[in-house]
Amino acid sequence: MAFSAMHSHVLSGEVQLSNCKSSHCKSRAQHLKVSAAVSAPSAPVEARRPAATGGVKHAMTLTEKILAKHSDNTRLQPGANIWTNVDKLLTHDVCGPGTFGIFEKEFGEGAQVWDPEKVIIIPDHYIFTSDPRANRNVDILRDMVAKYGIKYFYDITDRADFRANPDYKGVCHIAMAQEGHCLPGEVLFGTDSHTCNAGAFGQFASGIGNTDAGFILGTGKLLIKVPPSIRFVLDGEMPPYLLAKDIILQIIGEITVAGGTYKAMEFSGEAIQAMSMEERMTICNMVVEAGAKNGICPPDAITFDYVQQRTDAPFEAVQADAGASYVEEYRFDVSKLEPLVAAPHSPDNRKKAADCSNVNIDRVYIGSCTGGKTEDFVAAAKLMHQAGGKVKVPTYLVPATQKVWMDVYGMPVPGCDGKTAAQIFQAAGCDTPASPSCAACLGGPKDTYARMNKPEVCVSTTNRNFPGRMGHKDGQVYLASPYTAAASAMTGRVADPRDFL
C-alpha cells in the first residue's frame, strides 16, 4: 500500500496516541485517553522570566498560524471559537443576490459594506443561458455593485459573444488566481464550496453560506471554529502519466467523502514542491469533496513568482511550525500510483482507470474550476496529438476563463510540432471550445452548454459525480484527470492514459 497513517494529537489534560497501522489498533487508540499527571516540585524553584514575546512559543499548523494572526491570538488550538478578520469575500451570480439581500435585511437599508475593495464579484455559473431568472441574478449584482461602490466586479453584458466583455473572466476560482486576488497568508471566504481552491497559495480559503457572507459584508469578520489539521506528505516523483487530479482522487478514495469533515487538509512533500500552481489548485480544489473546511499548501518560490507576476499587493506568507500537532498524517509515494477515476456516484468511489476499460461511454467533458485550466487543456491536447486519429464520442471543451480560452487558441503545446491545443482538438474532432463558465459542471438550466439532458455515461474532469450533478438524474459521471479524459475520448470507453503516453 502506498500510504501510511499515524495519529498524534495532544489536548490539554489528555493525550491520544497511536503508532499502529492496523485498523484494530487504530480504532482502540482513537478512543484511548491517557491522563497526564504532573507532580509539584519538592523545593521552591526560581520562576523563569517570560520570553520577550510574553509566552512560550506554541507550535501551530499552517491553518492555525493564519487564523491566529487574523484573530489577534498568539496561539490557537483546534476547537477554539474565534472571530477572524477577513481579507477578501468572494461571491457570484448564484449566491450574490441572496448575500446582499441578507446584508440589507439584517444591517438596514442605510448600511455600508465594510470594505468595497475587499469584495470580489465574479458571475460564472448560469451565464450563457436564456433563463430569465439566471439573467436577472447578474442584473441584481450590477445594481448592488453600483449601490455600494464595489471595486472588483467582472461583469458581462453581451452574452452573445463573451469576447465583447473585457471585464468578464469566467470561473471565479481560476479568475481569482489569475487576477491576483489570491495572496499567501490571507483569509478568504466565498459563497462557493470550491473557494478552497485558493488554499494552493498558502492562504486560508473556505466556502460559506449566504448568511455568513452577509455578515462579513457588514463587519469584515466571521465567527468560526479552528479546524484540526490532517497532514498529507506526498513523496516521490510524479510519473509522466499522472496528474494532480489522480493524486486527490487517491486521497479522497483513501479517507472517504467524510474523512476530512471540518478539518484542514495540509499538503507537503517533494511532489507538492515540484507542482505548478495550477496543479496545486487542483489538489486544494477538491478537499471539500472529502468534507474539509479548507486545503492548504505551503507557499514557496513557485507561489511567490505566480503571485508577483499578477499583483504588486503586499502579503505576509507563513509556514507551519516544526512540531505542530496533526490529528492524522498520511504519506504517499506518488511514483507508485496509477491513473484513477471516481466511478458513479461519489468522488470517493475510487477505481483504477485500467480496471474500468469495459465501461463504454457516451461523452467526455473537459472543463470546470478543477479541470478547465490552461495546463489541463495542454495535457488533454498532448495526449490526443500522440494518439492520433479522431475522438470516438462527443468531446466538450469549456475553458475556465477568457485567459485559458486565449491560451487554448494561442499557445503552442510543447512537443506537438508547434500546434495549439485548439488545432489539435479540431483535428481530433472535438467540439469547438465553448464560452468560459461553469457550464455543465453543475447542470444548470436546460439550455446550458454540454448539459446532460438524457441518461448518458460521461468521463469528466469536474469535481462531483452525484446523481443529477451534471443534469439528468440518471446520468453516470466518471471523474478523471485530463489525461484519462482525453484517452477515454479517443477510445469511447474509460481508458488508461498509459495506452497513449
- pLDDT tens for 267-280 read 999 999 999 999 99
Instruction: Put residue 157 in one of left, alpha, beta given phi > 0 → left and psi -120 to 50 → alpha.
Output: alpha
Q: State yes or no: cis peptide before 345, omega within 30 of 0.
A: yes
pLDDT (0 to 100) of residue 41: 35
pLDDT (0 to 100) of residue 109: 85
Cα–Cα distances in Å, from 31 out to 24, 102, 175, 256?
Answer: 11, 42, 44, 20
pLDDT band at 57 (very low <50, low <70, confident <90, very high): confident
Cα–Cα distances in Å, from 138 out to 27, 82, 164, 369?
Answer: 50, 34, 17, 20
Look up residue 25 and give its three cell numbers: 489498533
Per-residue pLDDT at 485 exceeds 70: yes
How many degrees, rounded to 5, is the angle at CA 408 between CA 173 and CA 182?
20
Q: Grid cell 505551503 — which residue?
A: 298
Cα–Cα distances in Å, from 206 out to 71, 194, 202?
Answer: 16, 8, 12
pLDDT band at 185 (very low <50, low <70, confident <90, very high): very high
pLDDT (0 to 100) of residue 12: 29
pLDDT single digits (tens) 142-165: 999 999 999 999 999 999 999 999
- One-letter identity of residue 174: I
**Pair type for strands 476-480 and 340-342:** antiparallel
Per-residue pLDDT at 55 exceeds 60: no
Per-residue pLDDT at 23 exceeds 90: no
Q: Is pLDDT larger for residue 45 or for residue 335? A: 335
As a whole-number percent, the residues of the chain with pLDDT over 90 amount to: 88
Cα–Cα distances in Å, from 207 out to 93, 149, 187, 294?
Answer: 15, 24, 11, 8
* Measured distance CA(447)–CA(451) in Å, rounded: 7
* Measured distance CA(474)–CA(476) in Å, rounded: 7
Per-residue pLDDT at 45 exceeds 60: no
H helix intervals, 46-186: 62-70, 96-107, 132-148, 172-178
H helix intervals, 113-209: 132-148, 172-178
Query: For 34-43, 68-77, 316-325, which range has the lowest pLDDT when averaged over its residues?
Result: 34-43
Per-residue pLDDT at 351 exceeds 80: yes
The phi, psi pair for 478, rounded to 5°, reads -105, 115
Residue 471 near residue 438 (C-beta atoms within 8 A) = no
How many degrees, rounded to 5, is the angle at CA 369 between CA 97 and CA 477?
105
* Measured distance CA(199)–CA(187) in Å, rounded: 10
Residue 397 near residue 367 (C-beta atoms within 8 A) = yes
Cα–Cα distances in Å, from 142 out to 131, 139, 323, 434, 457?
Answer: 17, 5, 48, 24, 38
Per-residue pLDDT at 121 exceeds 70: yes
Residue 125 near residue 442 (C-beta atoms within 8 A) = yes
pLDDT (0 to 100) of residue 221: 98
CB atoms within 10 A of CB 120: 22
* Measured distance CA(21)–CA(3) in Å, rounded: 10
pLDDT (0 to 100) of residue 204: 99
Q: Is pLDDT larger for residue 58 or for residue 118? A: 118
Residue 142, Cβ density class (10 Å: 0-12 exposed, 13-18 middle, ≥19 buried):
middle
| pTM of the full structure | 0.89
Residue 270, Cβ density class (10 Å: 0-12 exposed, 13-18 middle, ≥19 buried):
middle
Per-residue pLDDT at 476 exceeds 80: yes
pLDDT band at 400 (very low <50, low <70, confident <90, very high): very high
Q: Is pLDDT larger for residue 178 or for residue 15? A: 178
CB atoms within 10 A of CB 466: 13
pLDDT (0 to 100) of residue 31: 36
**Pair type for strands 14-18 and 3-11:** antiparallel
pLDDT band at 4 (very low <50, low <70, confident <90, very high): very low
Mean pLDDT of 412-439: 98
* Measured distance CA(338)–CA(468) in Å, rounded: 28
Averaged pLDDT of the chain: 91
Q: Is pLDDT larger for residue 51 or for residue 375? A: 375
pLDDT band at 198 (very low <50, low <70, confident <90, very high): very high
> Which residue, 443, 434, 428, 482, is CA-closest to 459?
482
Per-residue pLDDT at 36 exceeds 90: no
pLDDT single digits (tens) 289-321: 999 999 999 999 999 999 999 999 999 999 999
Query: For 8-22, 61-75, 143-157, 313-327, which range has the lowest pLDDT when averaged over its residues?
Result: 8-22
**Pair type for strands 229-235 and 264-268:** parallel
